[in-house]
């Protein structure tokens, strides 16, 4: 395995001395205004962190040594594992706001993409974190304590300065990275006003490791982050490229009004230099008066034979008021030789039967893309998306009673093995009479608060039977090559705590749980035992259904789409004990949903799963083509992921997803048919 390289991005303002000091400058350090509630510059000395706002909420580092570095503006504060900034004085002004902005600059030095890191943590109020897979995540809590999660899609690379912000304007929460909105969520205000403790980082296992600068909290939703946009004007699609291959740099420069001659340049040390000029008429007005912004992409070829570590330099130059200015950033990168595709390889894409209006079109494009299998959603809980004889409910796509038969025929014609997948325990039509009947019978899951959750509780054998009969029908009555469990889990850690789960657990331990559900939740004395029993219901369902499938048609491949997490984490979080399923032979192959976009994080995730499974079953690793983690737009992104899988020894892959209407086959897959997707993988 290639070792991860600590990445650094160095933004340099390069004025030409002859032009004097009147040339346009970058936006400067933050200054407090009437909305500023907290502002840390980190420019002082010692363990005291001075607040530059009028609130005087000074902080203190919990333990030493105190180290400072070179920040975005002046000094930064370095945080080691376990070091936390704790606030002094009252914090009433930091909660219950009608509007909010919490922002900071950060540079992580953590190389473990599975390690979660808390940056700003005001539990049950607002948080900014880096989650598994190196993704920025924000949390907001409304006045009733309801949690809203905002998940970013841009990979966070170690050693690179980033600006992160979470905002709330009274109607929507927004997550920002480098001045660009990553995602948003509708939310009613105000921010939760409950008592709590705000800290920067945490002394738990989720500690942030790296440097921070310019941390600011305001009681207004700020809409523009010009300083962040200026300093982070370029990014690479990936820090890893194949040889031969390409690096792609995306430029989003911000420059003063009236500037012209904007040129974006990217160069690879030992390789080529490429540039794009953006005409003045193509510049757009930025959110903040006096500034303009542009957008461009520059593709730099990687010549054959160039391998190992290298550097891509991105630069922006322009003229403003007759003066030339330029800013540059350097990105250390890695290059590795392309591994030829193996003769035999499982090459699949997930798809949805309910969106396939023209099966011939979709499966012919899959064949043209070099794929040989399709994993097609065909059921969701109690609802079949085809003309099911066992029901209980059916939704027929496009009013076509032979939709499933048509998909099977088209797939066979084009050499695509069809594997229906079933969303096992989540309910397909919660408002239907049948689903409401299940609810009345107490067959829905319950949150720890006692709320109904529209998922079938696996502790009820009647619910397992619905899933079982639906999967058996697909295997028994149709010429499928495989069948896949999906949503074979609980929705999250908040379920299930229904009366049946309680009664069965009390029977298991032989005594009554006096303080339900607190005793079985996180930190409770019975937490571990309850999580084991909770997961056992899912495992028993898999054991029962897989045995029945093999009795009917033993040649059918049984797979499961599972969380791409540490096995124990998946078991405790959603009751998905997928490692046990592999070791016991309940599956024929595992399809982890490893939709991580960042190449280094992807490699770490897949390697962790391969090591855990240890050859018990084949691992067909997931690749996020069009997923909640982001959209793969360029063929070189897919090429890198395939090369990683082959280097690690994975025997195949499954991409999520190729579903109409999609341009992924033409734009991402087919351009690779002569290289990493050559052949058909059938041996």
H helix or E strand, kind and range, residue 452: strand 452-456
The pLDDT assigned to 9 comes to 32
Please state, as a whole number, how many other Cβ atoms lie within 10 Å of the Cβ of residue 225: 25
CA distances from 479 to 47, 453, 553, 589, 654 (A): 69, 35, 10, 19, 21
Residue 107 Ramachandran class (φ > 0 left, ψ -120 to 50 alpha, else beta):
beta
The pLDDT assigned to 134 comes to 83
**DSSP H helical ranges for 563-663:** 567-574, 578-583, 599-613, 635-648
The pLDDT assigned to 458 comes to 98
For the chain, residues with pLDDT lower than 70 are: 1-27, 88-90
DSSP 356-372: -S-HHHHHHHHHHTT--
Q: What is the rounded distance in angstroms from the CA atom of residue 311 to the CA atom of residue 640?
A: 18
The pLDDT assigned to 26 comes to 60
Q: What is the rounded distance in angstroms from the CA atom of residue 98 to the CA atom of residue 372?
A: 53
The pLDDT assigned to 27 comes to 66
Q: 3-class SS at 648?
A: helix
The pLDDT assigned to 89 comes to 58
Residue-wise over 491-509: b if at least 16 C-beta within 10 A, else e? Answer: beebbbbbeebbebbeeee
Q: 3-class SS at 652?
A: strand
Please state, as a whole number, how many other Cβ atoms lie within 10 Å of the Cβ of residue 275: 13
The pLDDT assigned to 17 comes to 21
Q: What is the rounded distance in angstroms from the CA atom of residue 535 to the CA atom of residue 533?
A: 5
What pLDDT digit, counting tens, does each position of 640-653 carry?
Answer: 999 999 999 999 99
Q: Which residues pair with 320 in a beta bridge?
A: 323
User: Considering only CA atoms, which of 337, 339, 369, 338 is closest in space to residue 351?
Assistant: 369
Q: What is the rounded distance in angstroms from the CA atom of residue 529 to the CA atom of residue 520?
A: 8
Q: Which residues touch 455 (CB under 8 Å, ≥6 apart)?
A: 381, 425, 426, 427, 444, 445, 490, 491, 495, 496
Contact 468, 548 (CB under 8 A): yes
Residue-wise over 529-554: b if at least 16 C-beta within 10 A, else e? Answer: ebbebbbbbbbebbebbbeebbeeee
State the virtual CA torsion across 257, 258, 261, 264 in degrees, nearest 10. Answer: 0
Residue 440 burial by Cβ neighbours in a 10 Å radius (0-12, 13-18, 19+) = exposed
Q: What is the rounded distance in angstroms from the CA atom of residue 111 to the CA atom of residue 109?
A: 6
Token pair 């130059």 is at which residue?
A: 317
Contact 157, 91 (CB under 8 A): no
The pLDDT assigned to 135 comes to 87
What pLDDT digit, counting tens, does each position of 173-200 carry?
Answer: 999 999 989 999 999 889 999 888 889 9
């Amino acid at each position: 395995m290639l070792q991860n390289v600590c990445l650094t991005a160095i933004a340099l303002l390069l004025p030409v001395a002859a032009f004097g000091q009147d040339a346009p400058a970058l936006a400067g350090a933050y200054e407090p205004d009437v909305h500023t509630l907290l502002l840390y510059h980190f420019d002082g000395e010692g363990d005291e962190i001075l607040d530059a706002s009028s609130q005087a909420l000074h902080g203190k580092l919990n333990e030493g040594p105190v180290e400072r570095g070179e920040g975005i503006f002046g000094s930064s504060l370095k945080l080691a594992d376990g070091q936390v900034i704790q606030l002094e004085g009252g914090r009433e002004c930091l909660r219950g706001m009608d509007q909010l902005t919490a922002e900071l600059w950060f540079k992580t030095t953590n190389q473990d993409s599975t390690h979660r890191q808390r940056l700003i943590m005001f539990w049950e109020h607002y948080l900014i974190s880096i989650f598994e897979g190196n993704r920025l995540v924000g949390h907001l809590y409304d006045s009733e304590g309801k949690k809203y999660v905002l998940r970013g899609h841009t990979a966070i690379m170690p050693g690179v300065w980033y600006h992160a912000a979470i905002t709330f304007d009274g109607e929507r929460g927004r997550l920002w990275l480098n001045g660009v909105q990553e995602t948003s969520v509708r939310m009613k205000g105000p921010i939760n006003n409950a008592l709590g403790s705000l800290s920067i980082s945490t002394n738990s296992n989720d500690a942030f490791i790296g440097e921070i600068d310019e941390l600011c909290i305001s009681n207004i939703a700020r809409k523009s982050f010009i300083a962040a946009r200026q300093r982070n004007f370029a990014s690479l699609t990936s820090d890893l490229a194949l040889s031969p291959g390409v690096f792609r740099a995306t430029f989003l420069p911000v420059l003063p009004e009236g500037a012209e001659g904007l040129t974006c340049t990217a160069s690879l040390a030992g390789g080529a230099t490429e540039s794009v000029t953006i005409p003045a008429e193509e510049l757009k007005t930025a959110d903040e008066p006096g500034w303009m912004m542009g957008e461009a992409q520059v593709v730099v070829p990687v010549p054959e034979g160039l391998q190992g570590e290298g550097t891509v330099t991105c630069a922006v130059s322009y003229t403003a008021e007759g003066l030339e200015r330029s800013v540059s950033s350097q990105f250390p990168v890695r290059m590795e030789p392309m591994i030829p595709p193996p003769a035999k390889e499982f090459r699949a894409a997930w798809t949805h039967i309910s969106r396939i209006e023209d099966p011939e079109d979709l499966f012919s494009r899959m064949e043209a893309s070099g794929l040989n299998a399709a994993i097609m959603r065909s059921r969701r809980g109690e609802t079949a998306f085809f003309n099911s004889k066992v029901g209980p409910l059916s939704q027929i796509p496009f009013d076509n009673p032979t939709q499933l038969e048509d998909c099977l025929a088209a797939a066979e014609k084009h050499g695509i093995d069809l594997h229906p997948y079933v969303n096992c325990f989540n309910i397909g039509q919660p408002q239907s009479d049948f689903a409401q009947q299940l609810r009345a019978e107490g067959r829905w899951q319950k949150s720890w608060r006692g709320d109904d959750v529209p998922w079938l509780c696996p502790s009820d054998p009647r619910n397992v039977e619905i899933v079982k009969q639906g999967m058996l029908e697909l295997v028994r009555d149709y010429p499928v090559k495989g069948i896949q469990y999906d949503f074979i889990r609980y929705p999250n850690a908040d379920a299930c705590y229904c009366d049946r789960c309680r009664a069965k657990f009390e029977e298991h331990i032989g005594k009554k749980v006096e303080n339900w559900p607190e005793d079985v939740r996180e930190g409770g004395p019975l937490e571990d035992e309850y999580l084991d029993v909770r997961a056992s219901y899912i495992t028993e369902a898999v054991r029962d259904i897989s045995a029945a499938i093999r009795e009917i048609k033993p040649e059918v491949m049984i797979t499961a789409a599972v969380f791409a997490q540490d096995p124990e984490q998946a078991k405790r979080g959603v009751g998905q004990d997928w490692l046990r399923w592999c070791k016991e032979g309940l599956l024929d192959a595992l399809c982890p949903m490893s939709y991580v976009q960042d190449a280094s994080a992807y490699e770490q995730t897949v390697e962790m799963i391969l090591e855990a499974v240890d050859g018990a079953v084949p691992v067909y690793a997931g690749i996020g083509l069009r997923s909640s983690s982001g959209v793969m737009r360029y063929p070189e992104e897919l090429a890198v992921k395939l090369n990683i899988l082959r280097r690690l020894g994975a025997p195949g892959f499954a991409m999520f997803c190729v579903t109409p209407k999609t341009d992924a086959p033409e734009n991402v897959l087919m351009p690779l048919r002569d290289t990493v997707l050559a052949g058909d993988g059938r041996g």
